[in-house]
Amino acid sequence: MAEPFTAASFNVNGIRASTRRGFADWLATRSPDAAALQEMRCPVSELPAFRGYHLAYDPGTLAGRNGVAVLTREPPEAVRTWGSTVWLSGPSVAGGRSGDSVAAGRGGALARGLATYAAEGRYIEVDLTDRPVTVACLYLPKGGLPAHMQKSGGMRDAPDGGAKYLRKMRFLGSFARQLDRARLAARARGREFLLMGDLNIAHTELDVTRWRPAQKMEGFLPEERQWLGARLGPRTLVDVVRMLHPGEPGPLSWWSWLGRSFENDVGWRIDYHLASPALARTAAWAGVDRAATREQRMSDHAPVVVGYEL
């Protein structure tokens, strides 16, 4: 008999702010079996309580930035990062303050070029205890525009000569190799693989409300979209939400806080579940927990939730 398994990916854009806006109520109501959280942006001493969940958290070393975590019902069988120290706590702990700080395993050498990002709090993965699945959480760099597309006065940020763009592209090149290693290592352990997170890339025209002007924006550049497309395939990884919502716009997962983007549903789909093919075939439903009103938003992102029947 198939066993339901619900997984959620959510860029909380600051767990303390998201908690003030109702994150704990969402977690209790939705009650996912595993949740991958990005942009925690929180020191361990100020973590909120995650009632009913075990926490594996890589805060990184950049104060007030990044930070990735995975919440699970059972203590994970194993935890791996890119060499950072992670914070582990159990469901009876009010926040992480009484948990344990441990050095997580790497699961092998890092792909060339990733050491630069290893302490930034961008990646963590856990082996679930109660299911044969490795759950990974990623916060991919936002990036920027290449130098030839930058115009002084025509950008929100000051021109940087393409530095952020080049940094993101270097990350993508290195992470592609690392992702293959992680996926194959999970298979060798007899596990399915599920990567969830904010990839800061919209893959197709269906994933951006206004895709034509978006072609000149970071996150929808041809080379970024090609990179994501190259990660997907019937023998590698499957974009589960798109598989369950073929040929239709969205479902969107990010809307700017500026203007009336949320009210007008002008946004991007940049939060993903990328699953090994056998796991993807068990996906029964997928959706986005979009807030009913602007005032009820927990973050500029919304949780992306998928129900699997393992």
Both tokens of residue 261?
Answer: 């983007």
Burial 40-63 (b: 16+ CB within 10 A, else e): bbbebeebbbbeebbbbbbbbeee
Number of CB atoms found within 10 A of residue 243's CB: 16
**Count of domains forming the chain:** 1
- Judged by DSSP in three states, 149 sits in helix
**What is the rounded average pLDDT of the residues 229-236?**
98
DSSP label at residue 38: E
| Average pLDDT value over all residues in the chain | 94
Instruction: State residue 109's pLDDT score.
Output: 85
CATH of the domain at 115: 3.60.10.10
Instruction: State residue 153's pLDDT score.
Output: 67
pLDDT in tens, 16-68: 999 999 999 999 999 999 999 999 999 999 999 999 999 999 999 998 899 99
Q: Are 101 and 85 in contact (CB under 8 A)?
A: yes
Instruction: State residue 157's pLDDT score.
Output: 77
Instruction: State residue 125's pLDDT score.
Output: 97
Nearest CA among 208, 204, 201, 206 for reference residue 271: 201
Instruction: State residue 120's pLDDT score.
Output: 96
**What is the rounded average pLDDT of the residues 63-79?**
95
Question: What's the domain range around 181?
Answer: 4-309
Instruction: State residue 257's pLDDT score.
Output: 97
pLDDT of 264 higher than 90: yes
Instruction: State residue 252's pLDDT score.
Output: 98
Instruction: State residue 98's pLDDT score.
Output: 58
- Please state the pTM of the whole predicted model: 0.95
Both tokens of residue 102?
Answer: 């441990």
Of the CA atoms within 13 Å of residue 44, those in its CB half-sphere come to: 21
**What is the rounded average pLDDT of the residues 261-265?**
97
Both tokens of residue 217?
Answer: 């924006």
pLDDT in tens, 21-34: 999 999 999 999 99
